[in-house]
Amino acid sequence: MVLTWAKPARSGTKGTTYSMEKDAKIYIAGHRGMVGGAILRHLQTQGYKNLLTRTSKDLDLRNQQAVADFFDKERPAYVFLAAAKVGGILANNTYRGEFLYDNLIIEANIIEAARRYSTTKLMFLGSSCIYPKLAPQPLKESYLLTGPLEETNEPYAIAKIAGIKLCEAYRDQYGCNFISVMPTNLYGKGDNYDLQKSHVLPALIRKFHEAKVKGDKEVVIWGTGTPKREFLYADDLAEACVFLMNEYDGKELVNVGTGEDLSIKELAELVAKVVGFEGALTFDTTKPDGTPRKLMDVSKLHALGWRHQVELPEGIRLSYEDFLQHKDNTVKATGVA
């Protein structure tokens, strides 16, 4: 039997929204990933106890019936949709079909199940790559779909845009209180350090660590080093997500970031300093740079009352400590300890 969504009696304006109850059943989709794990930790520290998680072995989110059965049984009141197939430039450009299909079907299955089984509120997490490659900087929420996407991660971006639009469409047609947030580039505890699939910051941490251990005199970095990027510590994102789940009910997506950026060259120099690598940095200009700049306009988030806490040097230090604690699981292929 298909259930209809029961619209809660709540306002869509800030100041009148209802906060998540401490005993509310909350499902974190993707809790084993960096973002989902950070959200889970933050909810636990805030006293939320009725938290639902499932591993991919227990629940294949690409299986529509399995997802529907899970929602039918558990009836979560709130959903953080952080589950996704993710990776850096190389992974995005290599596994284009997988990134498009898997992300489309995961988000569609969860959003539809949340509608069918009367979830009170859902948060969909996207990515800053949804914005046009050459959009004006900083990136405002209104720039969505105003120009062509960056080619290397276009499939992933299209999937994320579809998730945003599905939330908007379900709000329009069914009255669902489904919101979307767009994090900037993330890093932190539980990051992916696989050099074939990771993003730039964790890749640099691993490269510089291995070079330091082996005594290498240089580290080669993809691209020219000139593109500029913004980075947000994952635990800061988690705090912002719980804040927005409690404080924001609007239709339009919300950017989540720091509002500050730096060049890849500057980032590499900073990571090298934290790791303790003293050799040379060489840039392989035959490799792609990606989007020239991706700086988020976070004025909307700031107006709602939230700002980041962890600055980049401290965040990199914390990330490197986390890498060292788990390096045996991330450097097996190289034999470097």
Residue 209 has pLDDT above 60, yes or no: yes
User: 33: annotated binding-site residue?
Assistant: yes
In this structure, what CATH number is given to the domain that contains residue 52? 3.40.50.720
Residue 153 has pLDDT above 90, yes or no: no
Give the mean model confidence (pLDDT) for residues 194-201. 81
For 105, other C-beta atoms within 10 Å of its C-beta total 16
Q: How many residues does the chain have?
A: 337
Inter-residue contact 204 to 221 (CB < 8 Å): yes
Three-state SS for 61?
coil
Residue 161 covered by a domain: yes
Inter-residue contact 26 to 76 (CB < 8 Å): yes
Confidence of residue 327 (pLDDT cuts 50, 70, 90): confident
Same domain, 34 and 66: yes
Same domain, 42 and 82: yes
% of the chain at pLDDT higher than 90: 80
pLDDT at residue 17, as a whole number: 54
pLDDT at residue 330, as a whole number: 53
More confident residue, 328 or 307: 307
Same domain, 205 and 236: no
User: 34: annotated binding-site residue?
Assistant: yes
Of the candidates 135, 137, 130, 136, the one whose C-alpha atom is nearest the C-alpha of residue 154 is 130
Same domain, 33 and 88: yes
Starting at the edge strand that comes first in sequence, how are the strands of the sheet with 178-183 ordered?
51-52, 26-29, 78-81, 121-125, 178-183, 254-256
pLDDT at residue 87, as a whole number: 75
Same domain, 247 and 285: no
User: 30: annotated binding-site residue?
Assistant: yes
Residue 317 covered by a domain: yes
Inter-residue contact 200 to 264 (CB < 8 Å): yes
Residue 309 has pLDDT above 50, yes or no: yes
Here the tokens at position 256 are 């989540």
Same domain, 106 and 204: no
Residue 78 is a catalytic residue: no
Q: What is the mean pLDDT of the chain?
A: 91
Inter-residue contact 3 to 117 (CB < 8 Å): yes
User: 42: annotated binding-site residue?
Assistant: no
% of the chain at pLDDT higher than 70: 91
User: 184: annotated binding-site residue?
Assistant: yes
Question: In the listed set 210, 238, 256, which residue is the last one of a domain according to the structure?
Answer: 256
User: 55: annotated binding-site residue?
Assistant: no
Same domain, 163 and 211: no
For 205, other C-beta atoms within 10 Å of its C-beta total 26
Note the pLDDT tens digit of each residue in 119-145.
999 999 999 889 999 999 999 999 999
CA dist., res. 210 & res. 215, Å (int):
8
User: 307: annotated binding-site residue?
Assistant: no
Confidence of residue 329 (pLDDT cuts 50, 70, 90): low
| C-alpha R_g of the chain | 20
Residue 114 covered by a domain: yes
Of the candidates 51, 49, 55, the one whose C-alpha atom is nearest the C-alpha of residue 32 is 55
User: 125: annotated binding-site residue?
Assistant: yes
Same domain, 32 and 171: yes
Residue 152 covered by a domain: yes
- Determine how β-strand 51-52 pairs with β-strand 78-81: unpaired
Of the candidates 28, 178, 156, the one whose C-alpha atom is nearest the C-alpha of residue 102 is 156
pLDDT at residue 4, as a whole number: 38
In this structure, what CATH number is given to the domain that contains residue 208? 3.90.25.10
Domain range for 283 is 200-229+260-293+311-325
Same domain, 107 and 247: yes
Same domain, 161 and 272: no
How deeply is 288 buried, as exposed, middle or buried, from its count of CB atoms within 10 A (0-12, 13-18, 19+)? middle
Residue 304 covered by a domain: no
CA dist., res. 169 & res. 162, Å (int):
10
- Lowest-pLDDT choice from 196-205, 234-243, 254-263, 269-278: 196-205
Residue 272 covered by a domain: yes
At a CB cut-off of 8 Å and minimum separation 6, what does 137 contact? 293, 295
User: 175: annotated binding-site residue?
Assistant: no
Note the pLDDT tens digit of each residue in 14-71.
434 568 999 999 999 999 999 999 999 999 999 999 999 999 999 999 999 999 999 9
User: 207: annotated binding-site residue?
Assistant: yes
Same domain, 148 and 278: no
Same domain, 267 and 282: yes
pLDDT at residue 199, as a whole number: 82
Inter-residue contact 194 to 219 (CB < 8 Å): no
Question: What is this structure's pTM?
Answer: 0.89
Give the mean model confidence (pLDDT) for residues 80-94. 85
**Helices 234-247 and 34-45: angle between axes, nearest 10 degrees:** 60
Residue 57 covered by a domain: yes
Inter-residue contact 197 to 88 (CB < 8 Å): yes
- Lowest-pLDDT choice from 5-14, 15-24, 67-76, 224-233: 5-14
Give the mean model confidence (pLDDT) for residues 78-85. 96
**Which one-letter DSSP state was computed for residue 128?**
G
Residue 19 covered by a domain: no
Number of domains in the chain: 2
pLDDT at residue 228, as a whole number: 94
Of the candidates 27, 78, 117, 156, the residue annotated as catalytic is: 156
